[in-house]
Structure 1
Amino acid sequence: MKKIFQIMTLTATLAIAAPSLAFELEHTTGTINGDKTPERIVSYDLSILDSLNALGIEAVGVPKSNYKDELAKFAEAPKVGTLFEPDYEALKALKPDLIFAGGRSASAIPELEKIAPVANLTNRNPEFLADFRTNTLRLAAAFDKTKKAEEGLSNIDKDIADLQKLNAGKTGAFLFVMNGNIIPHVVGDRFGFVYELTGLESVLPAKTAEELAAPATRPAPDSPEAKAAAAKRAQQIKEIAKADPDWLIVFDRAAINGGENAGEKTLAEHPDLSQTSAFKNGRVVYVDPARWYVITGGLNNLKFLTGDFLDKMK
Structure 2
Amino acid sequence: MKIIATSLVALTLPSLALAAELTVETAAGAASLAAQPDKVVAFDLAAIDAIDALGVALAGVPEVSPPAYLAGAMQGVDRVGTLFEPDYEALAVMAPDLIVAGGRSQSVVEPLSAVAPTIDMTIWGGALIEQAKARLATYGEIFERGEAAAELTGALDDKVAAVRDTVADKGDALIVMTNGGKVSAYGAESRFGWMHAALDLPEAHPALDAETHGEAVSFEFIAEVDPDWILVIDRGAAIGQDGEAAQATLDNPLVAGTKAARNDRILYLDSAPLYLAGGGIRSLMGTLDEIETGFSE
Pair in the same fold by TM > 0.5: yes
In the alignment, which residue of structure 2 is the partner of 1:249? 231
SS in 2 for 1:104: helix
Assess, with a 3 A threshold, how the Cα gap between structure 1 residues 217 and 36 changes in structure 2: closer, same or farther: closer
Cα displacement (A) at 1:14:
6.8
Assess, with a 3 A threshold, how the Cα gap between structure 1 residues 75 and 15 changes in structure 2: closer, same or farther: closer
Separation of aligned partners in 1, 2:139 and 2:118: 13
- State the AA in 2 paired with 1:241: A
In the alignment, which residue of structure 1 is the partner of 2:74? 74
Assess, with a 3 A threshold, how the Cα gap between structure 1 residues 112 and 35 changes in structure 2: closer, same or farther: closer
Which has more radius of gyration?
Answer: 1
- State the AA in 2 paired with 1:54: A
Separation of aligned partners in 1, 2:237 and 2:186: 18
- State the AA in 1 paired with 2:263: N
Q: Judge conservation of contact 1:203–1:240 (CA < 8 Å) in 2.
A: no
In the alignment, which residue of structure 2 is the partner of 1:21? 19
Residues 57-110 of structure 1, C-alpha deviations (whole Å, 9 max, x = no match): 221000011233244241321101111111111222221110011121222122
Cα displacement (A) at 1:197:
4.2
Alignment of 1:248-267 (within 5 A): 248-258=230-240, 259=242, 262-267=245-250
In the alignment, which residue of structure 1 is the partner of 2:289? 307
Assess, with a 3 A threshold, how the Cα gap between structure 1 residues 132 and 180 changes in structure 2: closer, same or farther: same
Assess, with a 3 A threshold, how the Cα gap between structure 1 residues 30 and 163 changes in structure 2: closer, same or farther: closer
Alignment of 1:133-172 (within 5 A): 133-169=133-169, 170-172=171-173
In the alignment, which residue of structure 2 is the partner of 1:37? 36
Assess, with a 3 A threshold, how the Cα gap between structure 1 residues 34 and 103 changes in structure 2: closer, same or farther: closer
In the alignment, which residue of structure 1 is the partner of 2:269? 287
In the alignment, which residue of structure 1 is the partner of 2:48? 49
Separation of aligned partners in 2, 1:53 and 1:87: 22
In the alignment, which residue of structure 1 is the partner of 2:5? none
Corresponding position: 1:179 with 2:218: no
- State the AA in 2 paired with 1:277: K
Q: Judge conservation of contact 1:23–1:143 (CA < 8 Å) in 2.
A: no
Residues 29-78 of structure 1, C-alpha deviations (whole Å, 9 max, x = no match): 24443454211100001101110000112210000112332442413211
Cα displacement (A) at 1:143:
2.0
In the alignment, which residue of structure 2 is the partner of 1:5? none
Larger displacement relative to structure 2 (145-154 or 66-75)? 66-75
- For normalisation by structure 1, the TM-score amounts to 0.81
In the alignment, which residue of structure 2 is the partner of 1:62? 61
Cα displacement (A) at 1:274:
1.8
Residues 125-161 of structure 1, C-alpha deviations (whole Å, 9 max, x = no match): 2321221122211221222212111211111222211
SS in 1 for 2:103: coil
- For normalisation by structure 2, the TM-score amounts to 0.86
Separation of aligned partners in 1, 2:198 and 2:14: 49
Q: Which ranges of 4 or more aligned residues in structure 1 deviate by more than 6 Å?
A: 13-16
Alignment of 1:263-274 (within 5 A): 263-269=246-252, 271-274=253-256
Assess, with a 3 A threshold, how the Cα gap between structure 1 residues 257 and 27 changes in structure 2: closer, same or farther: closer
Q: Judge conservation of contact 2:237–2:271 (CA < 8 Å) in 1.
A: yes
Q: Judge conservation of contact 2:38–2:97 (CA < 8 Å) in 1.
A: yes
Assess, with a 3 A threshold, how the Cα gap between structure 1 residues 257 and 196 changes in structure 2: closer, same or farther: same
Separation of aligned partners in 2, 1:304 and 1:76: 24
Separation of aligned partners in 2, 1:39 and 1:115: 16
Separation of aligned partners in 2, 1:90 and 1:180: 39
Separation of aligned partners in 1, 2:230 and 2:191: 17
Larger displacement relative to structure 2 (273-282 or 19-28)? 19-28
Larger displacement relative to structure 2 (180-189 or 14-23)? 14-23
Tell me the percent identity: 29
Larger displacement relative to structure 2 (106-115 or 50-59)? 106-115
